[in-house]
Chains A and B, each alone.
Chain A
Amino acid sequence: MNSDNSTGSADNYPFQQYCPARRRPVTINFLCLLLLIVPILLLPSCDSILPSAPASEDVLAEPVEDLSPEQLALHISGDIEFARVFGAADGLGPVFVAASCESCHVGDGKGHPLTTLTRFGRLADGVWDPMPDFGGPQLQQRAIDGFAPEMIPAHATGVTRLMPPAVTGLGYLELVPDETLLALADPDDADGDGISGVAQYVDPPDYFQPQPGSIPIDGRYIGRFGKKAGAIDLLQQVVNAYKNDMGITSDFEIDDLFNPQAGGNTVDEVADPEVPASTVHSVVFYIRTLKVPPRRDADNPEVLAGEEVFKRINCSGCHTPVLQTGPSDIEALANVEIYPFTDLLLHDMGAELNDAYIDVGEEPGEWRTPPLWGLGLAADSQGGRMFLMHDGRAATLTEAILLHGGEAAASRAAFQALSASEQNQLLRFLESL
């Protein structure tokens, strides 16, 4: 120890108090050896000195292969925007749910109860009211400094909570032709299998550009994104996310969100739009060009047997195993076969999953079949466990299956009737997705 009077303060710069010169014999003792040995012992226990990338089959957040250099650059710009965290000074809020896309869709995967979206509304005299005067349909339960967050009005009759879904492979789903979806639909259950998928028809926003081959009815287009298929395309989904999930205005939605319960036009002070159209487009491009979720162990005999069980008990009646994309301006996405395990149609799932909430005009018990691809990686973004079904109430695959009612009741009964080993095979198959 030096024997000066100072403690560890800034005052003892060397030009004020020069350190006494030290000269000591060469010594190597126990402590010094320890300092050299501990590193050597610890290092091999890390996966490597410089951490290697996790295997591609274990991650969702990767671009599709075969993008051109320009496309890859745009994908990366979109990735950065997707991860961007908004602060109050950047225009977050004034009311919001979370501060970045990434915080809800962690690693492009599914979310967590911390970031579920809540929507509410009121059914009165058979008429559905999304309660805009109370901030409906979507609740923004958080607010920046000095602003009050929204609350669910006491007279709302339906409240639903939505667990953030994974966002990979959606560029392919966007390209499945309307024709295909309408062919899968069976509104009157003509084939008598108890399953009657219907397409959701949605009024397009004013910035909407129809894709070639769209089949509108009275100016309404088929919705395919969101738990109730309330968004026609990824642009609509992303514009809404900026506005309603984060309180970020864009060239597409220039008016800031505010809490009508606080009264007046109480918006934040950041100039609008808070993000330009180019940012929104880059994020849309990023999502369009995320790869399809990878599979693991697809050739394992148990998994293959499970796949057969999946078809046999007609899980595939809604979770359609194979779809084909149509033409696209992104070569890598055009005319390819994909395995999303969804028909993108609405199905009545029974009373237990009915939150008495209506998004677009569907029956409140109807939900869009979620893609099952990526299911096996759910826990890696949900905090080490799974939160399945629309609100995350199912902690395991079995719980999720047992919650299937309504049109899926027959499949559930068939699942319950399976032998333990067949059930296990089915679960192995789902985990491999």
Chain B
Amino acid sequence: MNLKHLFVAILLTVVLPSYLLRAQDDSTTTLDAAYTRPFITNIGSSSTAIGGYLEGNTNYFAEDGISEGLSMELRRFNVFLFSTIGQRIRFLAELEFEHGTEEIALETAQLDLEIDPALVLRGGIVLVPIGANNVNHDSPRWEFIERPLVATEIIPSTLSEIGFGLNGNLAFDRWVLAYDAYLLNGLQNDVILNSEGRTWLQAGKSEELLAEDNNGEPAFSAKLALRQRDYGEVGLSFYRGVYNSFEREGEAIDDARSLSIFAIDVATEIEKARIHAEFAFNAIDIPANLDELYGDAQWGGYVEVTYPILESPLFGFENASLLAGLRLERIDYNVGSFAATGRNRGDEIDALAFSLSFRPSADAVIRANYSHHWITDLLGNPSIKRAGFQFGFASYF
């Protein structure tokens, strides 16, 4: 099954009718098509909004005494486009410029057709609902400049893929139950045998991820999130797909190998302390001959607490706040022990980070971070220490 075709089918059944409805009692010909597009004909009724965010940082890191010096970066410039096409059809796109114009990605381009708040059909380039950080990752929302390791190294954030599926919210009393379920193209070959020399899901995000599947087997991802308005939210999510090109020109050249991700995320607030935690577990089919060198199981997790030390008008900003935060993390790229020695396979990172951030308003943040990583190699040799300071800003616009 080719998901690209399904995406096109959705566009045809959802977008085109809305265009046609508008065009009915119209005197223009197809030659005017460029200027009869709804975004122009609707000027004034403000159906479209443009937004985005900007993030810039200064970094100073040292690893075992070797400093990389001071570096400044415009890490992200993301532009959002939101449009309502008719009553219950919404379109949302996000274009990301990372590190200047080094990486440009269409991170989201999704069309929602709301049948009911409890049943929304969605198709396009969607953020895969695995863990919480993958979908909720806009930098101005966080007190830490770096995303948690579990969300980049174990869950390959930002993971957005071509797909389609359903989502919805069911609210009763003080509870909200939300679900998301999609069919997707799925991660691709370089999950193993990549230039990292380890099992690394990030490497499975090839350019073609947004074009064509490498194996014709769709991946599946789903999430259930339960929110109690007084206590917080818990999410359970899952992803599974075949990652290797096991067929070529219709001939089987290999076994189909799949990978699965299970994640649990928690967000809550206790005594004004905001707590976020996320844990993810990967299981990857690896050819027997690559066992141990490439991990077939990985996990990672983090817990983060941020606390508003000060919430009052400050420097003329009405809703200013000052927050302090602490984050603890651990990831293991290669779970298990060596058959030859019985000792633990390393390839692990432990990390600790602190933050101090100033928010002139809820949508903008200026933050200072310190982080310390203890990196242990696969063989379990004495760990490498990497630490540094970061200073940066991020703001919605």
* Interface set of A (CB-CB < 8 Å, partner B): 1, 3, 5-11, 13-16, 19, 21-29, 31-32, 35-36, 38-39, 42, 46-47, 49-54, 84-90, 92, 98-100, 103, 106-107, 112-114, 141-146, 149, 380-385
Q: Pick from A1, A32, A92, A113: contact of B338, CB below 8 A.
A: A113
CB-defined contacts of A144 to chain B, threshold 8 Å: 193
- Of all chain B residues, which has the CB nearest A22? B319
CB-defined contacts of B229 to chain A, threshold 8 Å: 1, 3
Q: Tell me if B273 is interfacial: C-beta within 8 Å of chain A.
A: yes
Q: Tell me if B363 is interfacial: C-beta within 8 Å of chain A.
A: yes
Given contacts A14-B363, A383-B343, contact A5 B169 (CB under 8 A): yes
Question: Are B388 and A50 within 8 A (Cβ)?
Answer: yes
Q: Tell me if B282 is interfacial: C-beta within 8 Å of chain A.
A: no
B 186-206 contacts with A by CB, 8 A: 189-190, 192-197, 203
- Of all chain B residues, which has the CB nearest A31? B273
Given contacts A13-B80, A16-B82, contact A23 B318 (CB under 8 A): yes
Q: Tell me if B147 is interfacial: C-beta within 8 Å of chain A.
A: no
From residue A206, how far is it (CB to closest CB) to chain B in Å?
Answer: 31
Q: Tell me if B212 is interfacial: C-beta within 8 Å of chain A.
A: no
CA distance A98 to B198 in the complex (A): 11
B 39-74 contacts with A by CB, 8 A: 49, 51, 62-67
A1-B232, A21-B362, A35-B307 are known contacts; what are 8 more A-B pairs with Cβ within 8 Å? A1-B231, A1-B269, A9-B136, A9-B178, A9-B225, A27-B311, A35-B326, A51-B63
CB-defined contacts of B308 to chain A, threshold 8 Å: 24, 27, 32
CA distance A6 to B227 in the complex (A): 9
Q: Pick from A6, A29, A36: contact of B169, CB below 8 A.
A: A6
B 262-277 contacts with A by CB, 8 A: 265, 267, 269-273
CA distance A50 to B61 in the complex (A): 8
Question: Are B287 and A51 within 8 A (Cβ)?
Answer: no
From residue A41, how far is it (CB to closest CB) to chain B in Å?
Answer: 11
CA distance A98 to B370 in the complex (A): 36
Question: Are B225 and A7 within 8 A (Cβ)?
Answer: yes
Binds A, one of B3-11, B15-23, B25-33, B379-387: B379-387
CA distance A135 to B140 in the complex (A): 57
CA distance A125 to B374 in the complex (A): 57
Q: Pick from A16, A85, A143: contact of B289, CB below 8 A.
A: A143
CB-defined contacts of B189 to chain A, threshold 8 Å: 88, 145
From residue A60, how far is it (CB to closest CB) to chain B in Å?
Answer: 12
CA distance A32 to B309 in the complex (A): 6
CA distance A52 to B227 in the complex (A): 45
* Interface set of B (CB-CB < 8 Å, partner A): 49, 51, 62-67, 80, 82, 92, 108, 117, 127, 129, 132, 135-136, 138, 167, 169, 171, 176, 178, 180, 189-190, 192-197, 203, 225, 227, 229-233, 235, 244-245, 253-254, 265, 267, 269-273, 287, 289-290, 292-293, 305, 307-313, 318-319, 321, 324-326, 338, 340-341, 343, 346, 352, 354, 362-363, 370, 372, 377-382, 385-388, 396
CA distance A149 to B229 in the complex (A): 56
Report the 3 A-B pairs with minimum CB-CB distance, sorted nearest first. Answer: A53-B65, A51-B385, A383-B379
Q: Pick from B127, B169, B293, B346: contact of A98, CB below 8 A.
A: B293
CA distance A385 to B310 in the complex (A): 51
- Of all chain A residues, which has the CB nearest B373? A51
CB-defined contacts of A16 to chain B, threshold 8 Å: 49, 82
A contact patch SS: loop
CB-defined contacts of A87 to chain B, threshold 8 Å: 190, 193-197, 203
CA distance A21 to B189 in the complex (A): 47
From residue B119, how far is it (CB to closest CB) to chain A in Å?
Answer: 15
A-B contact pairs, 18 of them (CB 8 A): A1-B230, A3-B229, A23-B313, A25-B311, A27-B272, A28-B309, A32-B308, A32-B324, A39-B370, A87-B194, A87-B197, A88-B190, A92-B193, A113-B340, A114-B379, A383-B343, A383-B380, A384-B382
- Of all chain A residues, which has the CB nearest B51? A15
CB-defined contacts of A380 to chain B, threshold 8 Å: 381-382
Q: Pick from B80, B135, B312, B362: contact of A26, CB below 8 A.
A: B312
CB-defined contacts of B272 to chain A, threshold 8 Å: 27, 31
Given contacts A1-B229, A35-B307, A50-B62, contact A103 B136 (CB under 8 A): no
CB-defined contacts of A47 to chain B, threshold 8 Å: 385
Inter-chain CB contacts under 8 Å: number: 210
Given contacts A1-B230, A27-B272, contact A85 B136 (CB under 8 A): no
From residue A108, how far is it (CB to closest CB) to chain B in Å?
Answer: 12
CA distance A15 to B78 in the complex (A): 14
CB-defined contacts of A51 to chain B, threshold 8 Å: 62-65, 372, 385-387
Question: Are A114 and B378 within 8 A (Cβ)?
Answer: yes
Q: Pick from A15, A27, A114: contact of B293, CB below 8 A.
A: A114
CB-defined contacts of B381 to chain A, threshold 8 Å: 106-107, 380-384
- Of all chain A residues, which has the CB nearest B377? A106
CA distance A39 to B135 in the complex (A): 30
CB-defined contacts of B203 to chain A, threshold 8 Å: 87
CB-defined contacts of B346 to chain A, threshold 8 Å: 383
Question: Are B197 and A85 within 8 A (Cβ)?
Answer: yes
CA distance A99 to B199 in the complex (A): 13
Q: Pick from A8, A50, A103, A384: contact of B225, CB below 8 A.
A: A8
Question: Are A88 and B193 within 8 A (Cβ)?
Answer: yes
CB-defined contacts of A85 to chain B, threshold 8 Å: 194-197
Q: Pick from B127, B169, B227, B382: contact of A10, CB below 8 A.
A: B127
CB-defined contacts of A141 to chain B, threshold 8 Å: 289
From residue A294, how far is it (CB to closest CB) to chain B in Å?
Answer: 16
CA distance A19 to B171 in the complex (A): 20
CB-defined contacts of A23 to chain B, threshold 8 Å: 311-313, 318-319
CB-defined contacts of B265 to chain A, threshold 8 Å: 8
Given contacts A1-B232, A8-B235, contact A31 B312 (CB under 8 A): no
Question: Are B197 and A8 within 8 A (Cβ)?
Answer: no
- Of all chain A residues, which has the CB nearest B384? A51
Question: Are A19 and B225 within 8 A (Cβ)?
Answer: no
CB-defined contacts of A385 to chain B, threshold 8 Å: 341, 343
From residue A8, how far is it (CB to closest CB) to chain B in Å?
Answer: 4
CA distance A102 to B341 in the complex (A): 21
- Of all chain B residues, which has the CB nearest A151? B289
Question: Are A13 and B225 within 8 A (Cβ)?
Answer: no
CB-defined contacts of B380 to chain A, threshold 8 Å: 383-384
- Of all chain A residues, which has the CB nearest B63? A51
CA distance A274 to B199 in the complex (A): 23
Given contacts A50-B388, A106-B377, A113-B341, contact A8 B196 (CB under 8 A): no
Question: Are B290 and A142 within 8 A (Cβ)?
Answer: yes
Given contacts A50-B67, A144-B193, contact A36 B387 (CB under 8 A): no
Question: Are A32 and B180 within 8 A (Cβ)?
Answer: no
CA distance A13 to B180 in the complex (A): 18
Of A15, A16, A25, A46, chain B has the most CB atoms within 10 Å of the CB of A15
Question: Are B289 and A9 within 8 A (Cβ)?
Answer: no
CB-defined contacts of B195 to chain A, threshold 8 Å: 84-87, 89-90
Q: Pick from A29, A39, A46: contact of B271, CB below 8 A.
A: A29
- Of all chain A residues, which has the CB nearest B50? A15
Question: Are A46 and B194 within 8 A (Cβ)?
Answer: no
Q: Pick from B64, B138, B176, B340: contact of A7, CB below 8 A.
A: B176
CB-defined contacts of B82 to chain A, threshold 8 Å: 13, 15-16
CB-defined contacts of A11 to chain B, threshold 8 Å: 92
